[in-house]
Amino acid sequence: MINDNITRRKFIRNAGIATAGITLASPLAGNAARFLKTDDPVTVGQIMDKFIAEVGVALFPTVDTLKSGSPDTVVTGVLTTMFATIDMIRKAIDLGANFIIAHEPTFYNHEDNTDWLKNDDVYQYKADLLKQHNIAVWRNHDYIHRHKPDGVTKAQLEQLEWTQYADKDIPNILTLPGSSLKGLVGHLKQKLNIQMVRYVGEPGQECKRVLFMPGAPGGMRQIQGIQKVKPDVLVCGELSEWETAEYVRDAQAKGDKLSLVVLGHIASEEWGSQFMLEWMNRNFPSIKTTHISPGNSLKFM
């Protein structure tokens, strides 16, 4: 588990190797990769180290720890996904994959603290399933967002065919050719395969300047983003209804041309797991990697 001291020490050790690796001229010259031939067995720790070395900084503290399994496990296959749900773990088992690279927590809180879940049946079932099948789960959240470019934003913009409209320095700020809020929402739904979005605004309002904030950065960051960027529309993943949605409602009442579109957390970031699939295929082509979306946990009726 994340709180196991041995695992933590190993993780720090692995992170240390990665830091040493980035001082060398080529990432391929890093300690972890130096003696690797394509058909050599690859461990969980080597894949983590390689990604961390590419990001170029070993973060501490970070939520990007192993939630299950060991860095020494030899990888039989990889599944990339937003959430290591029980369904995704079963898919990994079917695929013969023993390493899941997930973007979000496994155990229902940001730090994956499990002390409060020790007697919980759902937690126990999931932890046992992972243990029985010797499956490692790594949360790659802080690192993929620190990657240059941010792997999640890059992949989402590509899927939306918005890359050419993104600001060179801050790709979350976009200048679109211009469309109504209704047209923008139609595009988002179609490209990201979303059944419904929630929004605040007038469907006919022109939306050119877009602030795109995938995931759930919190109300304060979303509102500070609006203050700085002054977008026509904030397109976000997830929000607390009592924060950003109320701010945008008040801004509208005051007379501002500001809209809000809430995509849902998974739809706003899922393509980051496609980025990880492509990264695996480039860096570890001998390992069979599969990307599966867990889909939205919440249904509409």
CA 209/CA 285 separation, integer angstroms: 39
Among 45, 151, 215, 264, interactor with Zn ion by CB under 5 A = 215
Q: Give me the phi and psi of 176, to 5 degrees please.
A: -85, 160
Interface with Zn ion, residue 219, by CB under 5 A: no
In this structure, the number of other CB atoms found within 10 A of the CB of residue 28 comes to 13
- Strands 206-213, 233-236: pairing is parallel
The least distance separating Zn ion from the CB of residue 70, rounded to whole angstroms, comes to: 25
The least distance separating Zn ion from the CB of residue 270, rounded to whole angstroms, comes to: 10
Task: Single out the segment in contact with Zn ion by CB under 5 A; choices: 92-100, 113-121, 169-177, 211-219.
Answer: 211-219
Output 42 or 277, the one with its CB closest to Zn ion: 277
Number of residues that bind Zn ion (CB under 5 A): 2
Q: Which position's Cβ is nearest Zn ion?
A: 215
* Four-CA torsion 169, 171, 173, 177, nearest 10 degrees: 110
CA 160/CA 211 separation, integer angstroms: 14
Task: Single out the segment in contact with Zn ion by CB under 5 A; choices: 76-84, 111-119, 195-203, 210-218.
Answer: 210-218
The least distance separating Zn ion from the CB of residue 82, rounded to whole angstroms, comes to: 9
Output 286 or 297, the one with its CB closest to Zn ion: 297
Using an 8 Å Cβ cutoff, are 2 and 65 in contact?
yes
Comparing CA positions, the residue from 153, 151, 205, 212 lying closest to residue 179 is: 205
The least distance separating Zn ion from the CB of residue 147, rounded to whole angstroms, comes to: 11
Output 69 or 215, the one with its CB closest to Zn ion: 215
Output 236 or 245, the one with its CB closest to Zn ion: 236
Task: Single out the segment in contact with Zn ion by CB under 5 A; choices: 50-58, 184-192, 198-206, 209-217.
Answer: 209-217
CA 44/CA 235 separation, integer angstroms: 35
260 to 279: interface string for Zn ion, x by CB under 5 A: ---------x----------
The least distance separating Zn ion from the CB of residue 150, rounded to whole angstroms, comes to: 9
Exposed/middle/buried for 93, CB within 10 Å: 0-12, 13-18, 19+? middle
CA 174/CA 189 separation, integer angstroms: 18
Interacting residues toward Zn ion by CB under 5 A: 215, 269
